[in-house]
Structure 1
């Protein structure tokens, strides 16, 4: 699984596989899930790098990998 990807697990309440409810507007990876059976929703998973891009973050010094 690539870095930053959120796993699609089963519902913690009823065990049914969760469906994608929302995707990240920057990288399009899933960030929120919902159970179609009991309507349980997961909390939104925020991608810190995508959030910085969304805020037009510009580093003061070049990043070294």
Structure 2
């Protein structure tokens, strides 16, 4: 059975300069099994908001 765990990380930048490039590296170690990264979201600001799926992405009880 799959399980999903949201993860958030903040970092400080020099607010006096524009960001030209972001290099993102995901490192996983000491793991057995399969890892799937489904979504990644970058957003500005000091508070992380929760991503909410669109209604079309929700499986309803009457879906076949």
Into which bin does the TM-score normalised by the smaller protein fall? under 0.3
Task: Say which structure is richer in strand.
Answer: 1
**TM-score normalised by structure 1 residue count:** 0.23
**TM-score normalised by structure 2 residue count:** 0.24
Larger radius of gyration: 2
Which one has more relative contact order, counting CA pairs under 8 Å at least 6 apart? 2
